[in-house]
Structure 1
Amino acid sequence: MISLGLRTLLSKEVRRFLRVPGQTLLSPLVTTTLYFVVFGYSLGARLREIEGIPYAKFIVPGLVTLGVVTNSYLNSASSLFVMKLQGTVVDLLVSPLSYGEILAGFLGAAALRGLLVGSIMWLVAGAFGGFTLAHPLLAVALLALVAVAFAALGLMTAIWASSFEQVNFFPTFFITPLTFLGGVFYSISMLPPALRRLTLLNPVFYMVDGVRFGLLGISDASPWAGPTLVAGLAAIAVGSAYAMLRSGYRLRG
């Protein structure tokens, strides 16, 4: 049973991002629409189909994954880092909440925001290219794992960071490049052998590929490679975030 303290923290974190719907919900809606206008129609007129799937529909899983990854990370990272700056994180640490409950509160709210944004992006995408759900349970489970993994990475970054520049370092130099080079807008079968081998080293590729299998029923790699890798990443990230939280590293002044 969820304790009153955890419900309170979770409710607080959810209300925090719902208070700014223009930033958390409307912005991804506009961004997704622009992606479809620029990529779906411009490139779609030339590529038409990839593996028998219309191009506008082929890019949907990658865009949904990008939305979940980005928003899950930013929610936990920004929330905890602001609490560090304001000094209120100390009040949270000395509250009756256990470290596990604190972790669950931040990760739960961040994952919820990521999945909410991903759902909005999928609905927008469906308006452009139609709705397809080949393996819905697999798609939802994989996106939930992705959301938890990157929410935990965001929490770890917030604990480590001492400036907003450091908070933004990870998404700017790692998340965005790995995502765009992870098969969001193309199939790796279209790449030359050298770039194909390089893409297979990119963990985000397996996330996008797994979600694509869940939504469209096609994949470049093994359909189970994505869920296996993301489950391992989520376990490591959550365990590491818990350890950092429990240690009080850069949190207690």
Structure 2
Amino acid sequence: MNFYAIRAIYINELGRTWRTLFQSIASPVISTALYFVVFGSAIGSRMQAIDGVAYGAFIVPGLILLTVLTESVSNASFGIYLPRFIGTIYELLSAPISALEVLVGFVGAAATKSVILGLIIFGTARLFVPFEVAHPVLAFGYLVLISMTFALFGFILGLWADGFEKLQIIPLMVISPLTFLGGTFYSIDMLPGVWRQVALFNPIVYLIEGFRWTFYGISALTPLISLGLTFGLLVLCSAVVVWIFKTGYRLRS
């Protein structure tokens, strides 16, 4: 394992975050803070508690994942697309480093940025609504797992996209809507029977419910199912990335 190569890629990707601090960190935090002001403080004070949890606190896990999912995909996709766009990807492919080392560097940096952002949003939420985390270690571990999974997905997206417009299609048109409809602001048990069954086809539902369980010990779904689905997505994305490096799809064209 070439740790020097991994460190170089990792530090370079993290450095891009500090060079674009407002876009990378400040902007998502400000947007999420507005959600807490509107839904947590203003509307939340008029809403009934859900499963014994105050509404403002209930939406915290969903709002954290709303940002973490989109940022994981966006950071990883842009990180690998930019070398393809400017042509430096060929220098990377010709360097004496393996596909695994490239993947660890890019995905590790994207996941790290998402975890840091999730922790910042967690701290921001505490300024607006009071809440306690029932399983803090599990919550952090699950946050890392989700960040890695969607960073891998973003890496695939960055290889697939042939223009900057396509980099935004999936985060804006797929990830964000599915997160909003995945129980961010409500429990799927509140949905009528038919619509609850429809919601179960949304994979983000399982992620939010599992993450919410680590916070409050409540979930509309079995936490082990949520964990299993997350691992399944991680394995699937890893298999796709391995296939891409073996075939050279979008890497050499």
Task: Give the alignment's TM-score, normalised by structure 2.
Answer: 0.96
Taking only the aligned residue pairs, the percentage that are identical comes to 40
| 1:159 corresponds to | 159
* Structure 1 residue 114, shift from structure 2 partner: 0.8
Q: Does 1:235 align with 2:208?
A: no
Select between 93-102 and 240-249 the one with higher mean Cα deviation.
240-249
Structure 2 CA distance for aligned equivalents of residues 145 and 21 of structure 1: 24
Cα separation, partners in 2 of 1:40 and 1:142, compared to 1, 3 Å: same
| 1:61 corresponds to | 61
Equivalences for residues 105-120 of structure 1 within 5 A:
105-120=105-120
| 2:3 corresponds to | 3
Deviation beyond 3 Å, 4+ runs, structure 1: none
Q: Does 1:177 align with 2:177?
A: yes
Q: CA RMSD in A?
A: 1.3
For the 8 Å contact 1:103–1:242, the answer to whether it is kept is: no
Cα separation, partners in 2 of 1:151 and 1:196, compared to 1, 3 Å: same
SS in 2 for 1:252: coil
Q: Does 1:210 align with 2:210?
A: yes
Q: Does 1:46 align with 2:19?
A: no
Cα separation, partners in 2 of 1:28 and 1:99, compared to 1, 3 Å: same
Residue type of the alignment partner of 2:66: L
For the 8 Å contact 1:29–1:120, the answer to whether it is kept is: yes
| 2:141 corresponds to | 141
Any unmatched runs of 5+ in structure 1? none
Equivalences for residues 191-202 of structure 1 within 5 A:
191-202=191-202
- How far does the alpha carbon of each residue in 1:102-126 deviate from its partner, in whole angstroms, 9 at most, with x for none? 0111110000011011111111111
Cα separation, partners in 2 of 1:131 and 1:245, compared to 1, 3 Å: farther
| 1:18 corresponds to | 18
Structure 1 CA distance for aligned equivalents of residues 2 and 250 of structure 2: 28
* Structure 1 residue 166, shift from structure 2 partner: 1.4
For the 8 Å contact 1:139–1:210, the answer to whether it is kept is: no
Structure 1 CA distance for aligned equivalents of residues 101 and 250 of structure 2: 19
Structure 2 CA distance for aligned equivalents of residues 48 and 126 of structure 1: 20
Task: Give the alignment's TM-score, normalised by structure 1.
Answer: 0.96
For the 8 Å contact 2:45–2:56, the answer to whether it is kept is: no
Cα separation, partners in 2 of 1:28 and 1:144, compared to 1, 3 Å: same
Cα separation, partners in 2 of 1:99 and 1:85, compared to 1, 3 Å: same
For the 8 Å contact 1:65–1:208, the answer to whether it is kept is: yes
| 2:222 corresponds to | 222
Residue type of the alignment partner of 2:100: G
- How far does the alpha carbon of each residue in 1:19-66 deviate from its partner, in whole angstroms, 9 at most, with x for none? 211111111210111001121133313313111111110000001111
* Structure 1 residue 2, shift from structure 2 partner: 6.0
Structure 1 CA distance for aligned equivalents of residues 111 and 22 of structure 2: 18
Structure 2 CA distance for aligned equivalents of residues 31 and 110 of structure 1: 20
Structure 2 CA distance for aligned equivalents of residues 100 and 223 of structure 1: 30
* Structure 1 residue 247, shift from structure 2 partner: 2.2
- How far does the alpha carbon of each residue in 1:175-226 deviate from its partner, in whole angstroms, 9 at most, with x for none? 0111000000001121111111111111100100011010121111112121
Equivalences for residues 122-133 of structure 1 within 5 A:
122-133=122-133
